[in-house]
Amino acid sequence: MSDHIHILGICGTFMGGLALLAKDSGFTVTGSDRNIYPPMSTQLADSGIALTDGYDPAQLDPAPDCIVVGNALSRGNAAVEAMLTAGLDYTSGPEWLARNVLKDRWVLAVSGTHGKTSTASMLAWILDFAGFDPGFLIGGVPVNFGVSARLGSGEYFVIEADEYDSAFFDKRSKFIHYRPRTLIINNLEYDHADIFPDLTAIENQFHHLVRCVPGAGAIIRGGGDAIDRVLARGVWTPVHTLTQHTDVNEPSGSSDACSWRVLSTRADQLEIRSPEGEIAHLTWSLLGEHNAWNATAAITAATHVGVPFGKAVAALSEFAGIKRRLELLGTPGGVAVYDDFAHHPTAIEATLAGLRDADTGGQLVAIIEPRSNTMRMGQHREQLAPSAQAADHVLWYQPEGLSWDLSGAIESHAGQRVCSSVAQIIETTAELVAPGDRVVVMSNGGFEGLHGQLIARLEAELHH
């Protein structure tokens, strides 16, 4: 076991979580990043992890026992070049995690284009509620835990299994390293256009993952042709299929013997049937059909490792959600303002549908920043406006440097418009809303501090 690891690119959610796990495992941990800022910088500093701002090669003297290289770093980075020139020992984050944390654990991996963070958080909470004290590494902060990563003392480890690449020297998806015994594939769509040329390339990585799941394990799958194609290439593990009561043609690989059915997905109430025919009712704080699927996947995975069906459902009745996943930030002037991480048309549509199903009678306003690499490359431009139709008003943010015309993509859709600045968005929103309305801000970044500025403006405007 290496005594001292140094993490290049430590402030991302995954690498920051890895740093906390390494510290709790007994390693001396240091790291660096560019633009170090809270909350991750505070979380790391509170754990006694020394941070360096920037990538000056001096941070590698004296040389650490191992350097963990984040996937945001590439050749030409000063620290990377110094590391290679000096012949220092290095690895990727996923590989380090697999060798030092996961190798002796029962890994429950949650994969798919959408819902990974929510489903992994639900699963970790169910296992914790059942007394299993699981470890976890999640790309968000479950409110029930208050942290994104924990070593845990139990046999089980829940990990959000991302298909993004591992490092500049390892272009396999991160999840290839995790070797899960229990695998969830929620759904599968085209994403990450900066590294995958098409959906087939993503399906290739998912089948590499399927090949790693032992025969005594379990694969829990949602619907869709893409997952059908992945499993048609070969599957050596029992498959548990999530279906709806309205499904006539169940996905390939499913049977009544291993089919979990979502019977009802009303706003905050779910009805789920196990393969044995047992039906459970769940009343909880989350909204939307997509969360019903996430919950069913988490319950299925939990029962695979021995949690009783009823206990799993009871756990989710106390699940408090995840920060930045339809998180209610406040109700300034009687307007509910939500923060949501959605940055793909399918996720945008699902989030807005959930809010619409829980209709409170007021207007629903969506503020959306197309910030992901796939969005910025214009891969989903035709799906953007239709994905937001459940909202009464949609304000799209077109930042400088976007290489395509956002206005042209939404011009034929009533109630949708493009804004070129955060100030314009705040001004327009303040003109649109009244007490009883709901505003959801959708971005996978900080959105230039829009959330706080909007709440302050509505608080001042609507209280007068």
- Please check the confidence at residue 348 and state whether its pLDDT lies above 60: yes
- Please check the confidence at residue 256 and state whether its pLDDT lies above 80: no
Q: If phi over 0 gives left and psi between -120 and 50 gives alpha, with beta otherwise, what is residue 169? A: alpha
- Please check the confidence at residue 174 and state whether its pLDDT lies above 80: yes
**Fold annotation for 105-316:** UDP-N-acetylmuramoyl-L-alanine:D-glutamate ligase (3.40.1190)
What confidence score (pLDDT) does residue 301 get?
96
Query: Which residues lie closer than 8 Å to 23 by C-beta, 6 or more apart?
Result: 29, 47, 48, 49
Q: What is the mean pLDDT of the chain?
A: 86
* SS3 assignment, position 399: coil
Per the DSSP assignment, residues forming a β-bridge with 262 are 244, 272
What confidence score (pLDDT) does residue 458 get?
87
**Fold annotation for 327-462:** Protein-Tyrosine Phosphatase; Chain A (3.90.190)
Q: How confident is the model at residue 380 (pLDDT cuts 50, 70, 90)?
A: low
- Please check the confidence at residue 373 and state whether its pLDDT lies above 50: yes
pLDDT digits (tens, 9 = 90+) for 65-93: 999 999 999 999 999 999 999 999 999 99
CA 3, chain centre distance (Å)? 31
Instruction: Find the range with the poorest average confidence among 122-136, 281-295, 371-385, 403-417.
Output: 371-385
What confidence score (pLDDT) does residue 251 get?
45
Instruction: Find the range with the poorest average confidence among 122-126, 232-236, 262-266, 272-276.
Output: 262-266
Domain boundaries, the chain: 4-93, 105-316, 327-462
Contact 303, 274 (CB under 8 A): yes
- Please check the confidence at residue 393 and state whether its pLDDT lies above 60: yes
Share of the chain above pLDDT 90, in %: 45
CA 36, chain centre distance (Å)? 22
Contact 348, 315 (CB under 8 A): no
Range 404-407 contact pairs with CB under 8 angstroms and sequence separation of 24 or more: 404/378, 406/370, 406/381
Contact 449, 321 (CB under 8 A): no
What confidence score (pLDDT) does residue 255 get?
40
0.95 surpassed by pTM: no
CA 16, CA 139: separation in Å to the nearest integer? 10
3-state SS, 357-387, equals HCCCCCCEEEEECCCCHHHHCCCCHHHHHHH
CA 458, CA 464: separation in Å to the nearest integer? 10
Q: How confident is the model at residue 254 (pLDDT cuts 50, 70, 90)?
A: very low
Question: Token digits for 192?
Answer: 């990450």
- Please check the confidence at residue 388 and state whether its pLDDT lies above 90: no
Share of the chain above pLDDT 70, in %: 90
CA 102, CA 252: separation in Å to the nearest integer? 31
* SS3 assignment, position 315: helix
- Please check the confidence at residue 139 and state whether its pLDDT lies above 70: yes
CA 101, CA 111: separation in Å to the nearest integer? 19
CA torsion 267-139-347-247 (nearest 10°) is -60
When the candidates are 3.40.190.10, 3.30.450.40, 3.90.1150.10, 3.40.50.720, the CATH number that belongs to 4-93 is 3.40.50.720
Q: How confident is the model at residue 25 (pLDDT cuts 50, 70, 90)?
A: very high
What confidence score (pLDDT) does residue 421 get?
86
- Please check the confidence at residue 464 and state whether its pLDDT lies above 60: no
Tokens 């109700």 appear where?
331
What confidence score (pLDDT) does residue 250 get?
45
* CA proximity to 294, closest of 324, 278, 272, 318: 272
